[in-house]
């Protein structure tokens, strides 16, 4: 376990280092990376859109009804930020991408390993890490970043619309008094600087974890076709594990931030 994490970190840095080796070509690299980002990001968009909308609607309704009942109307914005933007938005997006793009990346590279295409690349002097891993890693990370931002935006905007539509359809039985200006100003007020920084850092870390893990598991397959499905499931499950661990580690920063503010107040 310890060794595999070390090897994955090494693979990550080797992939980025390979950007600068002698055979670099801006045009081809950009083309490969964009193709990979397209594959990872755009094709997952319909599912992501639906999940984000429903998730956002559920969160808004729960928060409104529960908090309204208990008289905590003013923490609405902070709760939305914590639940959607800070924690579950990035994690759900990462899980979606790990389940779809991470597993397909593992199968793709794993089949190439089985058919000794990776060996063939190496004997032609084409570095597999540069030709296969690097575009997947960078493209996957970029698209995870974009998809996470989109997820949060969709969860709030379309979730708001869905809530409105629902309360319009079933009549105002929940006594929801919700306007866009109220929601948006609450959320923007609740966002802190740490939130902005970690909204950028989190998806980048998660994207790197998913793609590095997927590529690592694929390259680790021995020449045995039965290992491909095993490696695929390992890729997904271990991605989940690493993502949650990384999330906990990054939550410590929020905690430190919170403690600092607490000491200021006291």
Partner 1 sequence: MPYTTALRIENLRMTYKDLAGERFSKPRVLSFFERESKDNEKELLVDANMELMNGETLCIGGPSGMGKSALLRVIAGLNRPSAGKLYYFGEYIPPERHTALEIAKRQVGLVFQNGALISNLRIKDNIALPLHYHKRGTPKEIEDKVNMAMDLMRVRSQANLFPHQLSVGMQKRVAIARSWAMDPKLLLMDEPTAGLDNYNRRNLLPLIDNMRILFHTSIIIVTHDLLMAKELNCNICFLHRQQITKPRPFDYWLNSDTDISKVLFRDLHRNI
Q: Give contact residues for partner 1 (rule: CB under 8 A).
A: 3, 7, 10-11, 14, 23, 25, 28, 112, 115-129, 131, 215-216, 219-220, 222-223
In angstroms, what is the minimal distance from the CB of 71 to partner 1?
A: 56
Nearer to partner 1, 199 or 221 (CB): 221
Closest CA to 52 of 160, 191, 174, 155: 155
Nearer to partner 1, 78 or 101 (CB): 101
In angstroms, what is the minimal distance from the CB of 225 to partner 1?
A: 14
In angstroms, what is the minimal distance from the CB of 142 to partner 1?
A: 21
In angstroms, what is the minimal distance from the CB of 98 to partner 1?
A: 18
Nearer to partner 1, 23 or 233 (CB): 23
Dist CA 199 CA 187 (whole Å): 14
Nearer to partner 1, 124 or 173 (CB): 124
Nearer to partner 1, 57 or 118 (CB): 118
Q: Using H for helix, E for strand and C for coil, what is the string for the chain? A: CHHHHHHHHHHHHHHHHHHHCCCCCHHHHHHHHHHHHHHHHHHHHHHHHHHHHHHHHHHHHHHHHHHHHHCCHHHHHHHHHHHHHHHHHHHHHHHHHHHHHHHHHHHHHHHHHHCCHHHHHHHCCCCHHHHHHHHHHHHHHHHHHHHHHHHHHHHHHHHHHHHHHHHHHHCCCCCCCCCHHHHHHHHHHHCCHHHHHHHHHHHHHHHHHHHHHHHHHHHCCCCCCCHHHHHHHHHHHHHHHHHHHHHHHHHHHHHHHHHHHHHHHC
Nearer to partner 1, 24 or 175 (CB): 24
In angstroms, what is the minimal distance from the CB of 134 to partner 1?
A: 12
In angstroms, what is the minimal distance from the CB of 124 to partner 1?
A: 4
């Amino acid at each position: 376990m310890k060794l595999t994490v070390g090897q994955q970190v090494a693979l990550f840095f080797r992939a980025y280092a390979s950007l600068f080796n002698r055979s670099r070509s801006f045009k081809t690299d950009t083309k490969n990376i964009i193709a990979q980002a397209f594959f990872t990001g755009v094709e997952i968009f319909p599912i992501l859109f639906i999940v984000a909308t429903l998730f956002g609607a559920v969160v808004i309704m729960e928060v409104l009804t529960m908090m309204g009942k208990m008289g905590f109307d003013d923490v609405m914005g902070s709760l939305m930020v914590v639940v959607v933007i800070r924690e579950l938005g990035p994690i759900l997006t990462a899980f979606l991408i790990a389940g779809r793009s991470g597993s397909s990346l593992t199968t793709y590279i794993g089949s190439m390993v089985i058919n000794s295409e990776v060996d063939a690349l190496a004997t032609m002097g084409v570095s597999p890490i540069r030709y296969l891993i690097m575009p997947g890693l960078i493209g996957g990370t970029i698209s995870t970043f974009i998809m996470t931002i989109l997820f949060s935006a969709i969860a709030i905007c379309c979730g708001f619309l869905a809530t409105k539509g629902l309360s319009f359809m079933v009549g105002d039985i929940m006594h929801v008094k919700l306007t866009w200006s109220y929601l948006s100003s609450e959320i923007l007020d609740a966002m802190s600087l740490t939130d902005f920084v970690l909204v950028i850092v989190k998806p980048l870390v998660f994207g790197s974890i998913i793609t590095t893990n997927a590529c690592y598991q694929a390259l680790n397959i021995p020449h045995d076709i039965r290992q491909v499905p095993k490696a695929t499931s390992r890729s997904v499950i271990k991605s989940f594990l690493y993502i949650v661990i990384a999330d906990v580690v990054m939550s410590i920063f929020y905690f430190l931030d919170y403690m600092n503010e607490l000491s200021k107040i006291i």
